[in-house]
Amino acid sequence: MTDHTASLPGTDELRRRALDALRRVGASVPAGTGLSARSPITGETLLDLRADTADDVGRAVDEAAEAFATWRTTPPPVRGELVRVLGELLREHHGDLADLITIEAGKIRSEALGEIQEMIDICDLAVGMSRQLYGRSIASERPGHRLAETWHPLGVVGVISAFNFPAAVWSWNTAVALVCGDTVVWKPSELTPLISIAASRLLDRAIERTGAPAAVHRLLLAGRDGGEALVDDARVALLSATGSTRMGREVGPRVAARFGRSLLELGGNNASVVTPSADLEVTLPGIVFAAAGTAGQRCTTLRRLIVHRDVADEVVDRVAAAYARLNVGDPFDEKTLVGPLVNERAATAMATALDRAAADGGTIVAGGNRLGSGGGVFVEPALVRMPGQTAVVREETFAPILWVLTYDTFDEAVALHNDVPQGLSSSIFTRDQQEAERFLAADGSDCGIANVNIGTSGAEIGGAFGGEKETGGGRESGSDAWKAYMRRATNTINYSDRVALAQNVSFL
């Protein structure tokens, strides 16, 4: 791996870039204390910001609840117009928003631009969706009666997002919630306040252009206490939270205790199965991007490689050679493929996991070293052969570690794949149709996402995104994920001139 950390931009340069991007989108920074905008590129603080308090959370929910009374009766295509204008503004400021993501989350340029494209795509999808919030007609057993299902806006939607997709996950929830007639209160990660300010300002501009109620969206810049206030507020009908399984264990029961709804997108421990028939020219780039992209800080990052024993050595050698060609360093440099970890805690977690693996008999084949001497946390993605699926392999370490396991039979591969608590994304590389179909069958992968001849990362917005088991069971983005943001009503319409009870009940 090539160390490109010697020529990183300085804190002053990053601060200037961030302020320029904010100025171009029309946003200003709430000066004060309580939160700091920092960059993982240098590890240093860029700006100090005012943190919202629990009282601010209450006011934001008050305003969103009041706006909901108007927004829910606004025709869905009119609601879609707001999202259409937001999409236009995202296109106009594509590069500005990508700059902020690179500065605050450390993503390489192409991935940052890709995240903004994902926001644009979900806006396009949601605009079309605004004319397709379909119910259904159901055959009634009673003459002169009709059954129907209708869908109605749910209420205030709280969104708690994570640092690794600081804008896209907000857009998944917000674009869909708005066309469904909901209002949104957003508490982003405290690690990425600047991109949150910019995205929220663009939505405010779209609100101003379309005449939508100003409080259909509210931004909260707060720490854990602000998130907890949002979780516990009974007026928040749906709480969508993206983060660790540990966070989900706290959020889920608290929302359920007040009979609210939760949409949880939690941890992943994603695996790819490589069979003897796999086309390794297709397999290699799928593995390397999924494992090393975003410095291993995606919920869909490839963390386990389950390879047939007959091809394991060749696959490992190819991946190790590809890792050796990865440039690690300045994410603004177009040659860089791996940017920084988000903070020192991530580096400590990675080092601890590698030490545990060595104690279990694992062997580091490539990478695993720390690079650079500055405040930013840069590491080489690690490739580690393991003697089995030990405890550390079954856990999610949010860093670029790829554990290599071997198998002999297809059933063994599926059993290894499913033998983890998480169930987000999965894939198989094979040219055998039977293996592909078995992997996608009910007794194959137990994940919410199952791919063939492609890696675990890079989902399109047209399909529903989410996972099973400790991943939380939530679904966002496309398909019929919109139903999570609405309430269903079953309607019985009697258009006859008599009363007929169901099940032939006779009364009076």
At residue 488, the 3 state secondary structure works out as: strand
Is the Cβ–Cβ distance between 42 and 12 less than 8 Å? Answer: no
Look up tokens 């894939």; give the residue: 427
Q: How far apart are CA 168 and CA 177, in angstroms?
A: 14
Contacts 24+ apart (CB under 8 A), 249-258: 251/160, 252/472, 254/228, 255/231, 258/232, 258/234
Q: Which of 84, 190, 173, 191 is nearest to 131 (CA)?
A: 84
Looking at residue 141, its amino acid is E
Q: How far apart are CA 355 and CA 270, in angstroms?
A: 21
Tell me, rounded to whole angstroms, the distance of Cα 349 from its chain centroid.
21
What DSSP string describes 17-76?
Answer: HHHHHHHHHT----BSSEEEEEETTTTEEEEEEEPP-HHHHHHHHHHHHHHHHHHTTS-H
Q: How far apart are CA 394 and CA 465, in angstroms?
A: 22
- Return phi, psi of residue 55, to 5°: -65, -40
Is the Cβ–Cβ distance between 365 and 384 less than 8 Å? Answer: yes
Query: What's the angle, vertex CA 265, arms to CA 455 and CA 427, rounded to 5?
Result: 20
Active site residue 92: no
Q: Which of 104, 190, 265, 470 is catalytic?
A: 265
> 499 exposed, middle or buried (CB, 10 Å; 0-12, 13-18, 19+)?
exposed
Looking at residue 145, its amino acid is H
The residues annotated as belonging to the active site are 265
